[in-house]
Amino acid sequence: MEDRSADPPPSGSGQAPSGAAGQAPSGATEGVSEKEARQVAEGARQTSWDRPSFGKELFLGRLRLDLIDPWPRPDPAEQARAEEFLGKLRDFVASDMDGAAIERDARIPDEVFQGLARLGAFGMKIDREYGGLGLSNLHYCRALMLAGSVSPAIGALLSAHQSIGVPQPLKMFGTDEQKQRFLPRLAAGEVSAFLLTEPDVGSDPARLATSAEPTPDGTGYRLNGVKLWATNGTVATQLVVLARVPKTEGHRGGITAFVVDGDAEGITVERRNAFVGLRGLENSLTRFHDVFVPRENVIGGEGKGLRIALSTLTTGRLSLPAMCVGAGKWALNVAREWSAERVQWGRPVGEHEAVAQKLSFIAATTYGMETMLDLCCLLADDDRNDIRIEAALVKLYASEMAWRIADELVQIRGGRGYETAESLAARGERPAAVEQMLRDLRINRIFEGSTEIMHLLIAREAVDAHLSVAGDIIDPDAGLGRKARAGVRAGAFYARWLPTLAVGKGQQPTGYAEFGPLAGHLRHVERASRKLARSTFYAMSRWQGKMERKQAFLGRVVDIGAELFAMSAVCVRAHSERDTRPENVELADLFCRQARVRVDALFTALWDNTDSVDVVAAKRILAGRYAALEDGIITPPADLPWVTPWTPGPTTVTTDARRRIPPPS
């Protein structure tokens, strides 16, 4: 598990809190109200849209194909340089990495760390002037996909180190001095980690309790607190730590990001956490007791920590779908070869319709995920587009779809899908670790923002245009003057916008004709985009300020948008490759046909659902009304708390769980 749960829920008002972004409400972190928590999260959002966004336009009912067509192309010189590295990486992971041993021993050998360091894999995203490789997002993700196909724990190691660990925040917000001081060491093979989550704080940063007290002499801060689920935390020598600085004279205060020496006095790695999958993951519970951090190690300034974390995640999120795409490709290979060789009732199992549907889904969805990811990477690399919505969509979509792919693969393989690779090999059969893939992929629906949190984050951005003009109308704290001004703004906005949702190019029989056999799918996307925008507007009119609590509705809105984004991407990509890869037009058509069925079902579920009944039932369940239903079993022991409390102070453990990797020779 990775410590990446900083995503805020949507705010009903769209208003940033007064004071510093990320500043704690007055008082302690205990007893923080829902409103205060939302204000802290809202204050960390990037509120401006100074670059175009395909995803933002899509949710507003506008299919801006000009933002993605023609299909972006990587720089040829950079591609050649990256391909040389990827070739070396392929040789190394194929010959020097034993994924089965990492799974069996729950440990990545020192030699693998050292080999990756010699290749420069720890500096893939670090600029060349600091000793890194300076790869593009596209080739970085391809490297993660390649390494993760042998061991997902390796993919997680490299991703946590440079997608959200010290390199990325410093690249975006660090000073020249900080970059010169830290980045060459990290490019050479030192490992970094990102520490945000606490035992009782995940997606609610307003309750962050780790403190950073300024020292009386002004030279730095003293860190005190406990951080949970820090990927690479046991092996990292450099940490990004988010802690709360009190607001005092001379200090803006608020949640602040620090670079912290992993071997500083007062740091104890109290344990290495173990999970159902990613068994090689070096994930820690880390305590800080009066740890001194010099003021020069503050990233971006006091009170900027949450904004830095969220900005870092925009491109950092692309690493997770990269490994989901790799899993899809691996699943397709196993499913194809097995289904062609395994014969039942006189025919290969893949020719039976029940299995054929699963094969078709795996192939089409893998193509869709890869295309979404490649497009996001290419858009991020040219830096002309705002991809905060697109990156979040591909993270959400790939994590959900990869899990479904893994589940279908287990079903295709039957009993062998449930059997371990070691057991298969012992019987003389090919050791396809299908059950391991299922275990490894499950975490992707939770870390870097759970599916539920991602739905809310994307929904907040999707309705940002509405909140920017009408937020005060539904804000209970807004006075009559603010509401009146908002009414004027909203009237002008909707007078221009609503008529554009009535008709569009998707209703023209010849619309998008240049896309040939895929034109009909793009016409469907255009019509569905306008329908989605109308549905969102109607929901806001109906529920107003209560809409932020309609989380199931918002989730379906986002899922429709994800499908439409994916359909747009595959059509543009396949059309651009129609001469060199004509089979991709078939895959794009297949994907779009499947996606249209899902979209239709989601539109129906927007209004025909059991959401309100479910909420009432949940309240009754929580009150214990149906507790008798739990009779007749032995429940988990109740002698320990669900969340372990912690208090500041020195550690009480006797053995430090940190691990130090010898430098490569």
Q: Mind telling me the catalytic residues?
A: 448
- As given in the structure block, the two tokens for residue 232 are 């690479």
Q: Minimal CA–CA distance to 385: which of 57, 61, 124?
A: 57
Q: Could you tell me where the DSSP H helices lie in 510-655?
A: 519-543, 551-576, 583-607, 611-622
Phi, psi of 283 (to 5 degrees): -120, 135
- As given in the structure block, the two tokens for residue 521 are 């799918």
Collect all residues with Cβ–Cβ distance below 8 Å to 346 and sequence separation of at least 6. Answer: none
- As given in the structure block, the two tokens for residue 645 are 């409390």
- As given in the structure block, the two tokens for residue 628 are 């008798």
> By the 8 A CB rule, do 229 and 275 touch?
no
Q: Minimal CA–CA distance to 197: which of 160, 240, 149, 230?
A: 230
Phi, psi of 298 (to 5 degrees): -70, 130
Chain centroid to Cα 95, Å, comes to: 30
Collect all residues with Cβ–Cβ distance below 8 Å to 184 and sequence separation of at least 6. Answer: 130, 131
Question: What is the DSSP-derived secondary structure letter of residue 163?
Answer: I
> By the 8 A CB rule, do 522 and 512 touch?
yes
Q: Is the dihedral of CA 373, 375, 377, 383 positive or negative?
A: negative
User: How do 298-299 and 283-294 pair as beta strands?
Assistant: unpaired
> By the 8 A CB rule, do 392 and 376 touch?
no
Collect all residues with Cβ–Cβ distance below 8 Å to 347 and sequence separation of at least 6. Answer: none
Helix (H) or strand (E) run with residue 270 in it: strand 267-273
Collect all residues with Cβ–Cβ distance below 8 Å to 47 and sequence separation of at least 6. Answer: 16, 464
Q: How far apart are the C-alpha atoms of 49 and 62, rounded to whole Å?
A: 16
Which region holds residue 382: left if phi is over 0, alpha if psi is between -120 and 50, else beta?
alpha
Q: Is the dihedral of CA 127, 132, 138, 144 positive or negative?
A: negative
Indicate the residue type of 648: P
Work out the angle at residue 436's Cα, subtended by the Cα atoms of residues 434 and 441, and round it to the nearest 5 degrees: 100
Work out the angle at residue 229's Cα, subtended by the Cα atoms of residues 286 and 377, and round it to the nearest 5 degrees: 125
Q: Minimal CA–CA distance to 62: which of 53, 70, 49?
A: 53
Buried-exposed string 619-643: b where 16+ CB fall within 10 A, e elsewhere = eeeeeeeeeeeeeeeeeeeeeeeee
Collect all residues with Cβ–Cβ distance below 8 Å to 123 and sequence separation of at least 6. Answer: 130, 131, 132, 133, 162, 167, 183, 186, 187, 188
